[in-house]
Amino acid sequence: MQVDELKALDQSDQLKHFRNQFHIPTQDGKEVIYLCGNSLGLLPKRTETYLLDELKAWEKKGVKGHFTGGKPWVSYHELAKDSLAKLVGAGRHEVQAVGSLTTNLHLLLASFYQPSGKRLKIIIESGAFPSDFYAVHSHMKMKGVSPEEHLIELKASDGKDYLPNEEVIEKIREVGDELALVLMPGVQYYSGQFFDIERITAAAHLSGAFMGVDLAHTIGNLPLDLHNAKVDFAVWCTYKYLNSGPGGIGGMYVHEDHGSDPNFPKLSGWWGHNAKDRFEMANRINPIATIDGWQLSNANVLSSAAHLASLSIFEEAGIYNMRVKSIQMTSWLATELNKLENVEVLTPNSSDERGCQLSIFIKSRGKEIFDYLDTNGVVADWREPNVIRVAPVPLYNTFQELGAFVRILREAIEKVH
């Protein structure tokens, strides 16, 4: 595709005005080609206003800010619910912006990993993100279950990075009534593969196991339908595609069947107690009959403010509109990358099995090629061994940027070799 064609795509892009709502980093006085939204999303310009509003409230009101003003802090955590519900396909009573990804995963594993009798096993994918591996490993050990014996790290039968949904489902059927939990990513961080969450959940439930999903690389990237898929629980971070700041507040989902059950096991915190009599300080356990029953403490207001700023952009853009552009961008980019020597695209070719991210395996001298990209104004992500991850984000990346990236990558391959 020629430069003029890429320019025409940008001109007809219905989301093009959102780029101006983000701060684009610069290098040597020029805007970089930022393809690292899968690791840390860019800063929305409106975030400063959202943060300053709460800093001003703190300055002017002090402790009274908890109960006065347009956004009282005591209920600040509720402000993200509607937007998050749309992004993950759930009811507002099933989602919450709270904690951090790993903290939330620990909280929900405490509820949903319930080993009993011979039902002890957990299935995760081989090469899972360390957050998931560490969490499930520690819960198994704390409950007296040997991870070495009962943690199944599922590898593709052909030894490659692509793990077919059918093989996941077949393994679930094989483990059967020994399976307690399946924990899968929505999008696998290394390969960029998007799993069929609904089919895998159905298989897990048929075996009698719970289904959990790590959405760190999925939320804000692809539309989701967790409630109708009957996923039991999910967790996520907000600093990647949700652009909510480094180390920003996390989030979690629990299906209403479990949230409404007052006897469902959970680690309790004061803020998960019924809000109407929370401040009576009577020390009676009376959890809220929604996902809010898992909330331990009051919201981190400043981190939540940054989160709300970004969510307001998603409300305006619409995740389905973003998905249309994302498919266009990754389809064009994958086609061009497949023309290059010394590279292999690990991410599935089908748009149904990928989001924004393309993982590029460099067959030789990959780190030198990555460093050339970095020196020449391309911000991407390096993962051992020899993988460069790039993620064209529809809110702020352009088709012309993708053309420039392919040109610089081609230069890098030629110069390094």
The model's confidence at residue 1, banded by pLDDT at 50, 70 and 90, is low
- Distance, CA of 251 to CA of 246 (rounded, Å): 14
In the predicted structure, residue 292 carries a pLDDT above the cut 80: yes
- Rounded to 5 degrees, φ, ψ at 357 are -80, 135
What is the pLDDT at residue 324?
Answer: 98
CB atoms within 10 A of CB 334: 17
The gap from C-alpha 195 to its chain's centroid, in whole angstroms, comes to: 13
User: DSSP 3-state helix, strand, coil percentages of the chain (rounded to 5)?
Assistant: 45, 15, 35
In sequence order, what are the beta bridge partners of 210?
181
What are the pLDDT digits (tens) for 395-416?
999 999 999 999 999 999 999 8
Mean pLDDT, the chain, whole residue set = 96
Residue 302 pLDDT > 70: yes
pLDDT at 286: 87
- Region 241-268: mean pLDDT is 96
Residue corresponding to tokens 């552009």: 325
Specify the length of the chain in residues.
417
**79 CB contacts (<8 Å, ≥6 apart)?**
71, 304, 308
User: Domains along the chain?
Assistant: 3-31+319-416 (3.90.1150.10), 52-315 (3.40.640.10)
- Is the link from the previous residue into 115 a cis peptide, with omega within 30 of 0? no
Best CA proximity match to 264, nearest among 246, 244, 225, 291: 291
What is the tens place of the pLDDT at every residue in 95-120?
A: 999 999 999 999 999 999 999 999 99
With 70 as the cut, is the pLDDT of residue 53 above it?
yes
3 pLDDT more than 90: no
What pairing do the DSSP bridges indicate for beta strands 151-154 and 358-362? unpaired
| Strand ordering across the sheet containing 121-125 | 95-97, 251-254, 233-236, 210-214, 179-185, 121-125, 151-154
DSSP helix/strand/coil, 330? helix
Nearest to 185 by CA among 154, 144, 227: 154
3-state DSSP call for residue 383? Answer: strand
pTM of the complete model: 0.96
How much of the chain, in percent, has pLDDT values that exceed 70?
100
Phi–psi pair at 75, nearest 5 degrees:
-120, 20
Element (H, E) at 54: helix 47-61
- Spatial distance between the Cα atoms of 66 and 72, rounded to a whole number of angstroms: 5
Residue 234, both tokens: 């999910």
Per-residue pLDDT, averaged over 177-186, amounts to 98
Q: What is the pLDDT of residue 135?
A: 98
Q: Which amino acid, 266?
A: K
